[in-house]
Structure formats: C-alpha cells, structure tokens
Structure 1
Amino acid sequence: MAARIEHLVTSGTFSLDGGTWDVDNNVWIVGDDTEAIVIDAAHDAEAIAQAVGGRTLRAIVCTHAHNDHIDAAPELAERTGAPVLLHPDDLPLWKQTHPDKAPDAELTDGQTLAVAGVELTVLHTPGHAPGAVCLYAPALTALFSGDTLFSGGPGATGRSYSHFPTIIESIRDRLLTLPGDTVVHTGHGDTTSIAAEAPHLKEWIDRGF
C-alpha cells in the first residue's frame, strides 16, 4: 500500500509571553495502512489516536515546541508507545509546557525518517523558533513546514525565541531551493506550494513581515 498524507484539524490555545490565543492546528499523518508518523500532536490526543487507528505509530515529530504543537504529544506517546522527536534547540520552549517530561529523541538537520516506504528529511529552519524544523518528502512531493512557511508568508517572529532575519534566511536557503511543485503542508491554515511562495521573498523582506 502506497504512503499517503492525511490531515486532521484540532483546536485549542497558543500561549507565550503572557498572552493566550485560540488556534486551529493542522496535524499531519504520513503512512499507509500498517504504519504512520504524526507531525505535530496538537491539542487532542484522542482525536489523533483515532485517526491513526490500529496502525503502528513510528514517531511523533514536533516541528517546533510552541505549546499548541506539542501539548498532546506526551499523552499520544503514552497511548501508542511512539517516541516524541524534537530538535534540541527548542528544549527551553518544550519545558514551558512539559517541565517534567522530556522528548524521547533528538531531531538533527539532514536526518531521515522512514515510514511506509518513503523518507522524510529533516531540515533545520530556525527563525520562528530556534529548533524549528521542516520535513521534506520528495517521493510525496511534499514539505511539512510547521510554522516556518505559510500560504502568504513566513511564520510570526514577534515573540520570544524568534528572529525575523533568521526565518527569512531559513526560507530562502532551505525551502525556496526545493522544486517549485512541492506542496507545502503548513502548521495552520491552507496548503501552498514552493512556486506560489518563492516570488514573494523580496516583498516579505521589504515589509519586515
């Protein structure tokens, strides 16, 4: 059975720097009928576990450690036995949400994760958060961008642990070099493509997005 991409939207809150906002998050499941990985276990471990079903969950991958992307990760790991993977540069953010539970393993730039016969390459793309990563799956013509790149622009950089010049560098050097037909599956909102976003790089810089 060929690998496929499944999409779940969960709702909750994002909290940082003393503020809290209601958010809808995209949860991505990559796999086939027997195994899968979850990208960003947001808000609702029960709903995510139901979407995974009886498949073996190989990993719970965190694109970064803002609470809305990791709040359900430990519970989902406990239910499924899957390891939680996070880039170590985001441990300070992780500890704000889960001070007593560490991730199970580290994500590193260039690492490959295999599931259902496809490989996803970890791209370290700091800026929105120090340990932000994207996952590139060329066999699926897909990039899972977390909050690094959205339809219409970069992720937010106006809060702690974020940096606008760094996210622009990450997008320019790590993402816009990918094939234009690569579909960008984002952490919030609609999907886009590399070709759709690439022409706007100078505009983002000029606007200080």
Structure 2
Amino acid sequence: MNYYEILGIDKNVSQAEIKSAYRKQSLKWHPDVNQNKSEATERFRDIYEAYSILSDPGKKLEYDKSLEDGIRYSYNEDRNYQERYRDAYEAFILEMYRLAYELTYQNIHYTKIKKELVKRGCPIHISEKIAIYVESNRKKEVRAAALKSILVAIGSFIVGIIIFAIAYAMGRFWIGGFLFFIIAIINLLKGIYYLVTGRVPIES
C-alpha cells in the first residue's frame, strides 16, 4: 500500500495539499455515497490510514524512509479493521463539525451549511443533524452573551438616569450623564437584537 498513491499526491506536497487530497478522496469514497459499500468502506479505511500518517510530520518522515529502504511500513497492525473504520468515520465527522461551526459563526443558515456538508461527502441525514445542532449551539451562546449585555445596559441606563436626575436637581446639565444614558440605550437595543436573532456580531 502506497499512501501517496491512495491520496493521489506526490512526496513533496505541503500539509495543506495533503489535507485537501484527503477531503477529496473522502468525498469520493465515503461508504454512504457509494453503491459498492464493501469496496468503498475498505478504500475509506485506507484513505484515513494514509492521511493519519502523512499529516503527521514525524510519521511521514518514518514512512518516507521506509519507502527509500524498501521496507514495509507498519501501521498499528494489532488493530482490527473495525477500529480503523471507526477512527476514519470519527475523523470525517469531526471535520464536518469543524466546518459547520466555522460557517454558523458567519451567520450562515443551517440549510446552506447542510448543503455544503453534503458537497463534502457527508450523508444528507447526518449533514442536517450537524447543521441544526451547531446553529442551535451558536444561538444559545450568542443569546447568553446578549442577556449579560442587556443586564449591563440596564444597569448603565439606571445609573445614567440617576446621574442625570442629580445634575438636574442641582440646576446643572451634565452632558456626560446624558451621553451615558444614550450609550446605555444603544447597547440595550443591540443586546435585544442579538437576544432575539441569535446572530453573531460581525465587524465590517
């Protein structure tokens, strides 16, 4: 088994190219998108095995030396195929979750995230579960942060009113208290918006 041939790359590629090749081959050979599941499952295992070695600089160096010396490289031969498949599957799903989280924190709707995961070879039902889950988590996190901001804004609003009232009672008009009051209102409205929508504030 030649790991470079399995991923369709040569020895001098970068880690980014190795990862890209892994994604491409995973998409092509994922068991859930192939009619010949037996062949696809075996090929998918080999793809993960190749990636797990070539994506690790130390293991890659050992593998390259074994090729030069004409020695068969040993990849955890004591592990059975079921464990190897589980590792490959878990690594693939983890990659899908990472991508989904990256997209959801750009405020991309879960339906579009689902489509993107399907393009990467993730089964439709799993893609939908992941997309809905990450969007739900994002909204929970944003709403929790927004609630804290609202409470702070309400506190600032009250302080602004008190300062403004004291200044007014003393026959003075303190512009600082007025600005404090306005900023508190703006922050309160922003907090309410993010609490309702669950959207992530994105700087322009």
Kindly indicate which of the two structures has a greater share of residues assigned to strand. 1
TM-score range, shorter chain: under 0.3
Q: Select the structure of larger CA radius of gyration.
A: 2
> TM-score normalised to the size of structure 1?
0.24
- Using the size of structure 2 for normalisation, the TM-score is 0.24
